Structure 1
Amino acid sequence: MTTHLALLRGINVSGHNMIKMEALKTTLEAIGFQNVHTYIQSGNVFVDSDEVNPAKVGFLIKQEIFKVFGHEVPVVVIGREDLEACFRNNPFLKEAAIDTKKLYVAFVSAALRSDSINDLKISQFKPDEASIDASRIYIKYVIGAGKTRFDQKYIEKKLNVTATIRNWNTVMQLLKMYGER
């Protein structure tokens, strides 16, 4: 049995794509996922499955959400190792007196090239900063996540990937939850 973390993008945001977590849990259990647990209403779902391929797990979840709830919801599935690497490799944590409330991580659906940061043209969004590591983009929003144009839609358009962003506190809580499984 493999534990996967499915990160759903764009559910329960400003009244759009509303899905109750208990209904989502029941739906995923009905198609064979085990030990299903959710964290907060923004679409963080742990599932255990005999399927080891994260992309297949994501496809099954996306397909079932559309079938049951009628919402087209992008899903990025990651493993414990990816979340642990996210914690170890965040370059902004090395800064003295960093305000973790300004840190975010964009998880993306495909491995990124090292020069992808150039494709993002992050310099247009100064003072916000970003750094790329494998299938993650570490972001430090200086002006605030709600006020920047450097968001998941921009990342998806520039890099042709599916992306979903989590704040650093959520990342830390998900890592803790992985450890408790």
Structure 2
Amino acid sequence: MTTKTYAALLRGINVGGSKKVPMAELRTLMEGLGHESVRTYLQSGQAVFTSAHGDEESLAAELTGAVEKRFGFSADVIVRDHAYLRAIADACPFPAAELEAKQLHVTYFSAAVDEERFAEIDRAAYLPEEFRLGDRALYLYAPDGLGRSKLAEHLSKPRINKGLIATSRNWNTVVKLVELTEQP
């Protein structure tokens, strides 16, 4: 089997003092699962690694179980390979080079989403904020940042994301994950 480089996106760890996962311990945990070249990025739950076994879904399930066993709480995990991360960055429907990183975010989903899931949202009511769908992803333009975004608040409602794992990253992190997964 060919070795591939992946990014693991852990949802909701190290936020507001709860669900603490020290990055050094996460790296050790992942190496113990047989992954190689494990690196972490920031404290908010990104790890890059190479693996010759499994696929995105099985790797995510394995890491989810290992985090729960080691740290005593559940943390949702999405795993994506370099080709996917590159495609998401390249397909951005907004002018990323012209925007501040805090204005542009990508929400990664555990499965494909369609427009019907978002039909209840009156998009015009949130302008100039906008969102567009991609491959298992949602691009959000929030000119005043995510913390002040009424659209982001609406998009994060449980009924919108029902049955999915969803985790958002700002544009700097999106680009950095592409860079980090280029190198084994």
- Fold-level similarity (TM above 0.5): yes
Report if the CA contact (8 A) 1:152-1:163 is conserved: no
Q: CA deviation at 1:147?
A: 1.9
2:131 match: 130
In the alignment, the residues of structure 2 paired with residue 155 and residue 51 of structure 1 have an alpha-carbon distance, to the nearest angstrom, of 35
Question: Which one is further off, 122-131 or 140-149?
Answer: 122-131
Q: Give the TM-score of the pair, scaled to structure 2.
A: 0.87
Partner SS for 1:38? strand
In the alignment, the residues of structure 2 paired with residue 47 and residue 152 of structure 1 have an alpha-carbon distance, to the nearest angstrom, of 33
Correspondence 1:178 to 2:160? no
1:166 to 161, 165, 169: 169
Q: How many residues align?
A: 180
1:69 match: 71
For residues 20-62 of structure 1, the C-alpha deviation after alignment (integer angstroms, 9 at most, x for no partner) is: 1001111111122222111111111112222241010000000
Unaligned runs of 5+ in 2: none
* Runs of at least 4 residues off by over 4 Å: 119-124
Greater RCO (CA < 8 Å, at least 6 residues apart): 2
Identity of aligned residues (%): 29
Question: Structure 2 vs 1, CA of residues 177 and 52 (structure 1 numbering), >3 Å: closer, same or farther?
Answer: same
Question: Structure 2 vs 1, CA of residues 153 and 65 (structure 1 numbering), >3 Å: closer, same or farther?
Answer: farther
1:79 match: 81
Q: Give the TM-score of the pair, scaled to structure 1.
A: 0.89
Report if the CA contact (8 A) 2:102-2:145 is conserved: no
Q: CA deviation at 1:141?
A: 0.9
In the alignment, the residues of structure 1 paired with residue 80 and residue 7 of structure 2 have an alpha-carbon distance, to the nearest angstrom, of 5
Report if the CA contact (8 A) 1:106-1:163 is conserved: yes
Question: Structure 2 vs 1, CA of residues 145 and 100 (structure 1 numbering), >3 Å: closer, same or farther?
Answer: same
Report if the CA contact (8 A) 2:5-2:182 is conserved: no
Q: Which amino acid aligns with 1:105?
A: V
In the alignment, the residues of structure 1 paired with residue 29 and residue 51 of structure 2 have an alpha-carbon distance, to the nearest angstrom, of 14
For residues 42-87 of structure 1, the C-alpha deviation after alignment (integer angstroms, 9 at most, x for no partner) is: 1111122222410100000000000000121011111111111111
Report if the CA contact (8 A) 1:152-1:164 is conserved: no
In the alignment, the residues of structure 1 paired with residue 4 and residue 154 of structure 2 have an alpha-carbon distance, to the nearest angstrom, of 28
Report if the CA contact (8 A) 1:4-1:47 is conserved: yes
In the alignment, the residues of structure 2 paired with residue 105 and residue 169 of structure 1 have an alpha-carbon distance, to the nearest angstrom, of 10
Question: Structure 2 vs 1, CA of residues 153 and 131 (structure 1 numbering), >3 Å: closer, same or farther?
Answer: closer
Question: Structure 2 vs 1, CA of residues 120 and 77 (structure 1 numbering), >3 Å: closer, same or farther?
Answer: farther
Unaligned runs of 5+ in 1: none
